[in-house]
Amino acid sequence: MFRLYIPAKREFMHLDTILTFIDRRRILTMPFLWDRPDVYARIAVRAKQQCEKLSFAYHGPDPQSFAKSTRLEVWTRAGLEKRYDDEMRGLEEYGMIEHARTVTVAGSSASYPSLEEHAVEALREQWNDGANVVAVGPGQVIAYSCNDRTIRALEGAGVEVLSIHGSELVRGRGGARCMSMPLLREA
């Protein structure tokens, strides 16, 4: 059994909001969350400073909470088998994913002037469930059309995207995967 510990933040309600399988051993996930949480901490610090400068109350995440790393634990009936601070490496070692084929929300970091700008755009798309797509077949997903950068990244990676408007679903804070019924897929 795998246990993946993620930040206890509203922004990351559950695993589907930050990581979804899009193909066999291939995922769509938030950039930097697993290997560079300091990027998110820096964004939170700047947002808090801006609020203070403008005399507004800051209601965002505590910057220190992002400094706490996520982790992956692998359990067997005998107990804890192995712990990983680098979850992607752990999932790759167990054959669950191919990290080199990972697609990130809002596209590649090469498209942005800085890591922080990429993370901010990813957070914007994540607010509308950018990582929360439903795989209807290998390399074929349903996604909300408002997450255009993520859709372009998926298509650029060879994933077929069936986009839906979904504005009423987004208002209910539900992603395409969370708001779908269980699907029976052929083997």
What's the one-letter identity of residue 141? V
Q: What's the rounded Cα separation, in Å, for the pair 117 and 5?
A: 25
Whether the CB-CB separation of 17 and 131 falls below 8 Å is answered with yes
Active site residue 178: yes
Measure the CA–CA gap between 137 and 99, rounded to whole angstroms. 20
Q: Which of 126, 178, 184, 186 is catalytic?
A: 178
Q: Residue 156 in 3-state DSSP?
A: helix
Cα–Cα dist 132/139, whole Å? 15
- By annotation, the residues acting in catalysis are 178
